[in-house]
Amino acid sequence: MRNMGSSDEKVVAVIMMGGPTKGTRFRPLSFNIPKPLFPLAGQPMVHHPISACKRIPNLAQIYLVGFYEEREFALFVSSISNELKVPVRYLREDKPHGSAGGLYNFRDLIMEDNPSYIFLLNCDVCCSFPLPEMLEAHKRYGGMGTILVIKVPPESANQFGELVADPVTNELLHYTEKPETFVSDHINCGVYVFTPDIFFAIQGVSTQRKDRANLRRVSSFEALQPPNRSLPADFVRLDQDILSPLAGKKQLYTYETMDFWEQIKTPGMSLRCSALYLAQFRFTSPHVLATGDGTKSATITGDVYIHPSAKIHPTSKIGPNVSISANARIGAGVRLVSCIILDDVEIKENAVVIHAIVGWKSSIGRWSRVQAEGDYNAKLGVTILGESVSVEDEVVVINSIVLPNKTLNLSVQGEIIL
């Protein structure tokens, strides 16, 4: 037996990225850029979990697993590896294998460094990623896996995987994915740490499926089964196929985060998550947040990120919760509140942007307003301009989504402009 805390226990992290067919709810923003590279608080979405992995002791490697073309991530992977001084590799899946099957598919690469622990994270989750603390808890529990969980309002719990854990030992006792009736107000955050035994568990599911398929062929067993319900043997889902069956068997445990947690499914949620990450920067890296009192630079209130290449007029007022990307130009008297301004956007004099995402290369005319109510869950709760949208002078755009390359010369409210 190796010593529990021995310094030779290597760790690898696997981040699930999804693919172009998965991010459809993220349109029109995912037309231009793979969803994991969409900037939140001025950094690509996947940068946040990657930089959190950097805090894990003895981290040997980070793998990004998804269906996007390699070339879409080549630049990002090389720059983040250099910036964080940790090897990051992109692994492309040939076909959907399910969340656990994807891990199993690359088991030889993942086990190359002979790690003692494997983190599995979902890219579209926004939280503080307390990974070192989670690993410590996992070592104490001595199980096969530990799941990050959070307590949510009971009425919203059924959108997620609900779970029941032993209040004393934190053992996972029961797990259901999106239940019909209320089970628990604790939900799965989509962040896990496993020992390599997870591969045997996944293999077990595959073997069981193959056996069942054989049994169907040789008996009248299939007459008792609903038709076409069988999944391919190598398609293994983490929640239904691994977590539910192993609950209550002293193999899986939970670690509760007391910080924030959100799932980034829609553009509206990305604005909320950008705010959460900006607020976290206050504590983790305050130097990246902008400051200014209107004398030499713009007046800044609350948490604001401004890319060094952006040009901001000193009479503009910015914040709270604003993120401004590369080469944006913000004119005199402009007011920005709760918004994401993407690369190469121009906002002209005295325009106002509130609760909105302004797409790459878009322009907003003088005295125009682009705004919304700011309900992150409502379909039109945040106004979104796709790439290269032009809002002309004195035009008001409220609670609307505008697809790329449109010119608006009339005001709109509550519309999706195709």
Mean pLDDT, consecutive 10-residue stretches, the chain (418 aa), reads: 62 93 78 92 97 96 95 95 94 90 94 97 96 98 97 86 92 87 88 97 86 68 55 84 92 96 93 97 94 93 98 97 98 98 98 98 98 93 97 98 96 94
Strand, coil or helix: 163? strand
pTM of the model: 0.92
Q: Which residue has the tokens 């067993």?
A: 221
What's residue 2's pLDDT? 45
Nearest residue to 126 via CA among 12, 233, 333, 271: 271
Q: Which residue has the tokens 């069981």?
A: 208
What's residue 1's pLDDT? 45
- Helix runs in 43-154, H state only: 47-53, 70-84, 98-105, 107-110, 131-141
pLDDT tens by residue, 118-134 = 999 999 999 999 999 99
10 Å CB burial of residue 31 (0-12, 13-18, 19+) is middle
